[in-house]
Amino acid sequence: MFTGIITDMGEVLALTRAGDLRARIGTRYDVAGIDIGASIACDGVCLTVIATGTDPQHWFEVQISAESVARTNIDTWAPGKRINLERALKVGDELGGHIVSGHVDGLAEIVAMRDEGDSTRFTFRAPHALAGFVAQKGSVALNGTSLTVNEVTGTDFGVNIIPHTKSVTTWGDARVGDGVNLEIDTLARYVARLAEWKA
């Protein structure tokens, strides 16, 4: 479980395929404190650590299933790409964002960006099957970042990203046309399922 508050920008160092995809990710985390089997959200995707090291920099490796690759933007990863990282939530940690599972529901596309003061207004297009779960003033996780929805029009929705967020996450690298990992709010998912069950 995560909060959508990014705590590091990692870098994809290497990708190898041996059955599943294996990624080595450079990090500023002290990997001595990362257990094998720990969960780290990588651009919002909950992945399991299978190896760590410090040569020539701190890194960890994760194994990624074909299902995760198919549902996310991991197929665009390449050495040198920066990704948002978050360690799993611990009991007693501050819950600064919202509850995020790291189970990506699908891809949203950046369809517009414009400056509003010092912030940037992003417009995203959600898949039709997920758009109904996105609500004005509700929360979404995009590439692992907890963000508040400003407005919703059909399958499009907007968020504002402040300069601080752009400086400590990969949102400063974002471009129109990018596919981003979308996780809908867990509460919205269960409310919809309950309504479907009662119907």
Q: What is the CATH number of the domain that holds 130?
A: 2.40.30.20
Verdict on whether the full-model pTM lies above 0.85: yes
Q: Is residue 98 part of a domain?
A: no
Query: 33 and 111: one domain?
Result: no
Query: 116 and 79: one domain?
Result: no
Q: Is residue 157 part of a domain?
A: yes
The rounded distance, in Å, linking the Cα atoms of 190 and 186 is 6
Q: Please state the rounded mean pLDDT for residues 119-148.
A: 96
Last residue of a domain, one of 87, 120, 144: 87
CB 64 within 8 A of CB 12: no
Give the per-residue pLDDT at 198.
75
CB 131 within 8 A of CB 108: no
Residue 100: strand pairing partners:
2
Range of the domain at 123: 106-198
Pairing of strands 179-183, 139-142: antiparallel
The rounded distance, in Å, linking the Cα atoms of 132 and 148 is 16
Q: Is residue 154 part of a domain?
A: yes
Three-state secondary structure string covering the chain: CECCCCCEEEEEEEEEEECEEEEEEECCCCHHHCCCCCEEEECCEEEEEEEEECCCCCEEEEEECHHHHHHCCHHHCCCCCEEEEEECCCCCCCCCCCCECCCCCEEEEEEEEEEECCEEEEEEECCHHHHCCCCCCCEEEECCEEEECCEEECCEEEEEECHHHHHHCHHHHCCCCCEEEEECCHHHHHHHHHHHHHC
Give the per-residue pLDDT at 199.
66
Query: 54 and 116: one domain?
Result: no
Q: Is residue 13 part of a domain?
A: yes
The tens digit of pLDDT for each residue in 47-64 reads 999 999 999 999 999 999
Q: Please state the rounded mean pLDDT for residues 18-37.
A: 95
Query: 178 and 117: one domain?
Result: yes
Q: Which tokens hold the place of 86?
A: 């978050």
Report the percentage of the chain scoring pLDDT > 70: 99
Give the per-residue pLDDT at 188.
77
188 or 48, which is more confident:
48
Query: 110 and 176: one domain?
Result: yes
Query: 135 and 51: one domain?
Result: no
The rounded distance, in Å, linking the Cα atoms of 159 and 124 is 8
Q: How far apart are the first and last CA of the chain?
A: 30
The rounded distance, in Å, linking the Cα atoms of 102 and 141 is 9
Q: Please state the rounded mean pLDDT for residues 175-187.
A: 94
Give the per-residue pLDDT at 156.
98
